[in-house]
Amino acid sequence: MNETMRAFQPMPDAAMDGLSQGHTAVVEALAAEPISTSADIADKLRVLADLIESDEGGVLFLETILLEATLHDLGAFRIREAIAEGYGSVETIYGELLQLRAGEFGKIDRA
């Protein structure tokens, strides 16, 4: 969407606001999308890389939302894997990553 916003300059403020709101909605929806495989996490990381590369000189706002969500997903995914493999107690760096959400440990979905 960044390319579209740049390609059609100048454009009315209302149009730019609409594109910007749509872009934000897409990234926020992706950040909230549940993951079930490592490929899902990799997809989120690819989108994050694209956000960073395509918004030269922009404000790192959406990037941080997606980064925090993806790190949380990665940590929870690895912990679920370890639990599924029979580890009763999981003490890894991934537990620390879960603190990124709201500054505290989140509940781990063991399903």
Residue 109 falls inside a structural domain? no
- Per-residue confidence (pLDDT) for residue 32, from 0 to 100: 92
| The total number of structural domains that make up the chain | 1
Residue 57 falls inside a structural domain? yes
- Per-residue confidence (pLDDT) for residue 1, from 0 to 100: 63
DSSP string, the chain: -HHHHHHT-S--HHHHHHHHHHHHHHHHHHHHS---SHHHHHHHHHHHHHHHHH-TT--SSHHHHHHHHHHHHHHHHHHHHHHHTT-SS--SHHHHHGGGTTTSPPPP---
The pLDDT tens digits of the residues spanning 40-94 come to: 999 999 999 988 887 766 667 888 899 989 988 888 888 777 777 776 555 555 5
Residue 105 falls inside a structural domain? no
The pTM of the whole model exceeds 0.85: no
Residue 107 falls inside a structural domain? no
Q: 26 is in which domain, residue-wise? A: 2-100
Residue 34 falls inside a structural domain? yes
